[in-house]
């Protein structure tokens, strides 16, 4: 009897141990699968993001996402060799998914109640990275407009949009010409025509003009941005020729400021419109206050801009802009140097991994929507 009792006790002990193990495994699984709100969201807002609940506004945004490459080697593009696991940047799945998480964090922090409705982006390697971005962030369900560009580095532009707020009717690439009859091997301008939920037709132009790299800084590369502006101006005039009241949104990384020749003269964007066919830059008020999106040599530069047609404010548009654009500069997106100057926390500093966001800050404009 005593031996039988010992066996029963031992059996109960085994079952108890197994039960404890199962409880530990179950609790670990629930903890690991639970969606957590990053602490930066809580620091930024009193209310966490819970979904779109304001249909009286349209938020339009542009973001240079700085070398948003996947981890797969493209044999046709030698410039992506450093963005693979065996490359000098050791760009593996973990770092790639961290980049996606951080980009999603930026989008979720534009507004405490809703995501941007239209998001223009640049420096993306291909359609795949945009698909991954949409699937793995709060942008799930957003649609994509993307075209492969002729850029030598293989970086493209694209538009992410909420299909419940915007319907694409037409899209195409517009070549930039540095020489007559020879399309430049650079990022083309992307044109999208679409309709908002209240029936408004929007004409959107996405841009990423020639950069100011050190060996071609200043006026040596300025002519290429001026010619890009002229290509854009021609396309804009074609839209306005059909409808002078057309609502046009031009946005992008221009690698020039509102006062530079390409934007102020060649494109003709100004601070305020006098007629519906005028173009005006909503980032000028912040630019005058020495604010910007790119930090270089201890100075902020307004390289990223949103430019609108005069019809938005002069012709009783159903979608009315606030009038002054915004730069998103949350504390988690910034880093300080030794002089306590804040600048964008980027993904890499050369080959040194920082795990940041981008070397640019995004710009956005909020429109009041009338029904």
As a whole-number percent, the residues of the chain with pLDDT over 90 amount to 78
* Model pLDDT, residue 220: 82
Q: What band does 317 get if pLDDT is binned at 50, 70 and 90?
A: confident
Cβ distance 73 to 125 under 8 Å?
Answer: no
Q: What band does 42 get if pLDDT is binned at 50, 70 and 90?
A: very low
Q: What band does 216 get if pLDDT is binned at 50, 70 and 90?
A: very low
Mean pLDDT on 215-225: 74
Q: What band does 10 get if pLDDT is binned at 50, 70 and 90?
A: low
Average pLDDT, the chain: 88
Question: Which is higher by pLDDT, 49 or 172?
Answer: 172
**Containing H/E element for 368?**
strand 363-369
Mean pLDDT on 129-146: 98
DSSP state at residue 216: G
Which class would CATH give 42-369?
Answer: alpha beta
Record the tokens describing residue 287, joined without a space. 């630019």
* Model pLDDT, residue 315: 86
Question: Which is higher by pLDDT, 115 or 25?
Answer: 115
Mean pLDDT on 37-57: 44
As a whole-number percent, the residues of the chain with pLDDT over 70 amount to 84
For 238-251, give the DSSP string: HHHHH-TT-EEEEE
pLDDT digits (tens, 9 = 90+) for 178-196: 999 999 999 999 999 999 9
Cβ distance 135 to 97 under 8 Å?
Answer: no
Query: Alpha-carbon distance 54 to 371, whole Å?
Result: 13
Closest CA relative to residue 344, chosen from 311, 304, 306: 304
Inform me whether the pLDDT recorded for 33 exceeds 50.
no
Inform me whether the pLDDT recorded for 82 exceeds 70.
yes
């Amino acid at each position: 009897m005593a031996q039988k009792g010992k066996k029963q006790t031992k059996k109960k002990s085994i079952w108890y141990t197994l039960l404890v193990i199962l409880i530990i495994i179950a609790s670990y699984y629930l903890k690991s699968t639970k969606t957590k709100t990053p602490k930066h969201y809580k620091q930024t807002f009193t209310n966490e993001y819970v979904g779109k609940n304001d249909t009286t506004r349209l938020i339009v945004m542009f973001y240079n996402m700085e070398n948003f490459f996947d981890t797969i080697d493209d044999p046709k593009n030698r410039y992506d060799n450093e963005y693979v696991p065996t490359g000098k940047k050791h760009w593996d799945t973990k770092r790639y998914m961290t980049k996606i998480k951080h980009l999603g964090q930026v989008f979720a922090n534009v507004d405490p109640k809703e995501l941007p409705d239209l998001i223009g982006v640049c420096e993306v390697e291909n359609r795949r990275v945009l698909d991954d971005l949409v699937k793995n962030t709060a942008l799930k369900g957003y649609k994509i407009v993307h075209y492969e560009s002729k850029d030598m580095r293989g970086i493209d532009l694209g538009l992410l949009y909420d299909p419940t707020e915007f319907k694409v009717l037409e899209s195409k690439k517009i070549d930039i010409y540095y020489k007559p009859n020879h399309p430049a091997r650079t990022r083309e301008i992307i044109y999208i025509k679409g309709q908002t939920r209240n029936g408004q037709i929007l004409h959107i132009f996405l841009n990423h003009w020639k950069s100011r790299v050190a060996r071609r800084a200043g006026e040596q590369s300025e002519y290429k941005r001026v010619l890009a502006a002229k290509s854009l101006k021609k396309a804009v005039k074609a839209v306005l020729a059909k409808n002078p009241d057309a609502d046009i949104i031009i946005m992008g990384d221009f690698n020039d400021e509102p006062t530079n020749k390409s934007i102020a003269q060649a494109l003709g964007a100004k601070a305020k419109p006098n007629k519906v066919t005028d173009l005006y830059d909503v980032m000028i008020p912040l630019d005058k206050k020495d604010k910007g999106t790119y930090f270089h040599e201890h100075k902020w530069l307004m390289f990223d801009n949103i430019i609108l047609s005069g019809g938005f404010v002069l012709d009783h548009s159903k979608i009315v802009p606030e009038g002054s654009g915004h730069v998103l500069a949350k504390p988690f997106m910034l880093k300080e140097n030794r002089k306590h100057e804040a600048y964008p926390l980027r993904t890499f500093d050369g080959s040194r991994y920082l795990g940041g966001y981008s070397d640019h800050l995004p710009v956005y404009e909020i429109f009041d929507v009338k029904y």
